Amino acid sequence: MDFELKSLSPTQAAQLACDALLVLVPDARPAVEGTDALSQLVARVNKAGDLEAGVAKLLACYRPEGFKAARVCLVRAGDGSAASVRKAVAAGVGALRQPGVQRLGLVLSLMDSSDASVRAAVQAAADATYTFTTTKPSAKARSLRHVVLGVNQPASVRQGFETGKAVVSGVEFAKEWANRPANHATPSMLADAARKLGRHASIKTEVLGPKQVEALGMGSFLAVAKGSAEPLRFIVMQYSGGAKSSAPVVLVGKGITFDTGGISIKPAAEMDEMKFDMGGAASVLGTFAALAELQPAINVVGLIPSCENMPDGLAVKPGDVVTSMSGQTIEILNTDAEGRLILCDALTYAARFKPRSVVDIATLTGACVIALGGVRSGLFSPRDDLAQALQAAGDAAQDLCWRMPLDDEYAEGLKSNFADMGNVAGRAGGAITAAKFLQKFANDLPWAHLDIAGTAWKGGAAKGSTGRPVPLLLQYLIDQAALDAATSKPKKATTGRTRKA
């Protein structure tokens, strides 16, 4: 979908040639009503009380006088905040999702727009029209092709607009791979997608197979892959946007392309949804796609351990003990707690990049779905600064997370008589005990873990990937790049300029 950012006064908005016009109407009324057709329509509606205050209330008009567009839809945008704009655009674009609507005018000119609200509008419009067609070509790609975003001062929100478009690319890349059924998204296919991203000048991709992973001593990752006929892949991507000496952020994505549970097999109901168990990996790929487009000045490494978790004669068995790359031994008490078993070796591998931070992203536990539902991802980190930076990035990008505790007492249940640790504790606090397991491999790395089991996809009638947490991750990386720029500036100023006394 193309987006165009344009200066549109209310008068120009009414005259815009498009199939439908979606006008965001803030609750606050203007001090002086304009005399153009749009301002007059809104004034009449406000006076009659025909569009309730609040967010996402809709009023659809057909061929109202003074407008070029046949369909004009007014939608309440409350206080005009990014969160309100997002809800309003989602509802409005959803309502206008009809075959005849190819070109949409999205009018933000009746309110003050900001980088954040423009970005929210772009993301919500793309989200409301996304369609997966790879294995269902008959679903026909969305009919909405072109969105003209009308604001009062395009220059002041250009950055939000560009970021929004990059986020959309990243989110749609992640959705595409996460939505693919497991037979269309094997570890080898994910690796091919990563290799393709490596064609961008700023991205390098390397793919390791079983032999190399064995040579690295990743006994824990290897154990999970043992039951599958599909060979494992360990994907290493590097985006170079910053100075060579600048320490990278490492993103580690869980890439289980299908999770049957292995010998500790899952019940049949909804097992199909375990094709989404590579949502963390998809979010790393999507973030790299967005980086290639946005080119922020930062270095980023993406690590994706990817395999299937299958039951088989060769599969790892409950009680088996394996040696991880870190040297720590693990008693695999439940083969369905496989995510932590592939991530732990990737975390050990991450240390070689001397990273400024390591963030793993994983559909790790059903317990996190119980704790936080589908609204916020679980955020775990022993570092307050890193946790705050990620939480703030999520807030800014409208991709929320919530910090969870990591008290050492939560690790008690991981004790084993036969290995350095077991891979599961009891049912209580399952999302936290999983994070405590990972923490044993993060050592002194500045590490954070995002459990996206509840947020990476939706079930039911709207079944599909959400592309989360690409918006959060990209925002975090943009924030880190900005931080670098701010701290390196004073140096430049003193060396580059001669000061007058």
Using the contact rule CB under 6 A, the part of the chain among 81-89, 131-139, 184-192, 329-337 near ligand BES is 329-337
Residue number of the CB closest to Mn ion reads: 336
- CB-neighbour burial class of residue 377 (10 A; exposed 0-12, middle 13-18, buried 19+): buried
How many residues bind to Mn ion according to rule CB under 5 A?
3
Using the contact rule CB under 6 A, the part of the chain among 93-101, 119-127, 210-218, 330-338 near ligand BES is 330-338
Cα distance between residue 364 and residue 451, in whole Å: 6
Considering only residues 263 to 302 of the shown chain, the ones binding ligand BES according to CB under 6 A are 277
Answer whether 109's CB lies under 8 Å from 149's CB: no
By C-beta, is 340 or 436 nearer to Zn ion? 340
Report if residue 172 touches ligand BES, rule: CB under 6 A.
Answer: no
> Angle 470-496/279-294 helices, nearest 10 degrees?
40
Give CA separation, 50 vs 39, 45, 108, 326, in Å. Answer: 15, 5, 20, 65
Report if residue 366 touches ligand BES, rule: CB under 6 A.
Answer: yes
- Nearest CA to 207 out of 174, 239, 237 is that of 237
Report if residue 259 touches ligand BES, rule: CB under 6 A.
Answer: yes
Cα distance between residue 455 and residue 304, in whole Å: 19
Cα distance between residue 330 and residue 344, in whole Å: 11
Residue number of the CB closest to ligand BES reads: 366
Q: Which residues of the chain form contacts with Zn ion (CB under 5 A)? A: 256, 259, 277, 339
Cα distance between residue 169 and residue 287, in whole Å: 9
Report if residue 369 touches ligand BES, rule: CB under 6 A.
Answer: yes
Report if residue 259 touches Mn ion, rule: CB under 5 A.
Answer: yes
- Nearest CA to 64 out of 14, 11, 106, 9 is that of 14
Using the contact rule CB under 6 A, the part of the chain among 11-19, 125-133, 310-318, 332-340 near ligand BES is 332-340
CB of 277 to ligand BES, least distance (A): 5
By C-beta, is 294 or 342 nearer to Mn ion? 342
Cα distance between residue 350 and residue 301, in whole Å: 9
Cα distance between residue 439 and residue 411, in whole Å: 10
Report if residue 337 touches ligand BES, rule: CB under 6 A.
Answer: yes
**Residues with Cβ within 8 Å of residue 54, at least 6 apart in sequence:** 27, 76, 78
Name which position in 164, 242, 430, 469 contacts ligand BES (CB under 6 A).
430
Answer whether 88's CB lies under 8 Å from 76's CB: yes
> Which residues are paired to 62 by β-bridges?
71
Name which position in 299, 365, 377, 475 contacts ligand BES (CB under 6 A).
365
Q: Which of 340, 376, 436, 468 is catalytic?
A: 340
CB of 453 to ligand BES, least distance (A): 4
CB of 337 to ligand BES, least distance (A): 4
**Residue 147 is encoded by which pair of tokens?**
């969105």
CB of 210 to ligand BES, least distance (A): 21
Q: Which of 57, 68, 142, 266 is catalytic?
A: 266
Report if residue 230 touches ligand BES, rule: CB under 6 A.
Answer: no
By C-beta, is 142 or 458 nearer to ligand BES? 458
10 Å Cβ neighbour count for 180? 23
Across the beta sheet with 103-107, the strand order is: 2-7, 146-151, 103-107, 20-25, 71-77, 55-62
Cα distance between residue 197 and residue 205, in whole Å: 8
- Is-catalytic flag, 119? no
Answer whether 347's CB lies under 8 Å from 360's CB: yes
Using the contact rule CB under 6 A, the part of the chain among 177-185, 228-236, 298-306, 333-341 near ligand BES is 333-341
**Residues with Cβ within 8 Å of residue 287, at least 6 apart in sequence:** 170, 174, 251, 300, 302, 470, 473, 474, 477
> Which residues are paired to 331 by β-bridges?
321, 422
By C-beta, is 219 or 339 nearer to ligand BES? 339
Using the contact rule CB under 6 A, the part of the chain among 8-16, 361-369, 382-390, 399-407 near ligand BES is 361-369
Using the contact rule CB under 6 A, the part of the chain among 145-153, 197-205, 360-368, 492-500 near ligand BES is 360-368
**Residue 201 is encoded by which pair of tokens?**
């000048």
By C-beta, is 356 or 440 nearer to ligand BES? 440
Considering only residues 133 to 152 of the shown chain, the ones binding Mn ion according to CB under 5 A are none
Residue number of the CB closest to Zn ion reads: 259
The entry of Mn ion, ligand BES, Zn ion, none near residue 453 (CB within 5 to 8 angstroms by kind) is ligand BES
- Is-catalytic flag, 340? yes
Name which position in 19, 127, 336, 399 contacts Mn ion (CB under 5 A).
336
Name which position in 237, 453, 470, 474 contacts ligand BES (CB under 6 A).
453
Report if residue 484 touches ligand BES, rule: CB under 6 A.
Answer: no
Catalytic residues: 266, 340
* Residues making contact with ligand BES (CB under 6 A): 259, 277, 334, 336-339, 363-367, 369, 424, 430, 453
* Residues making contact with Mn ion (CB under 5 A): 259, 336, 338
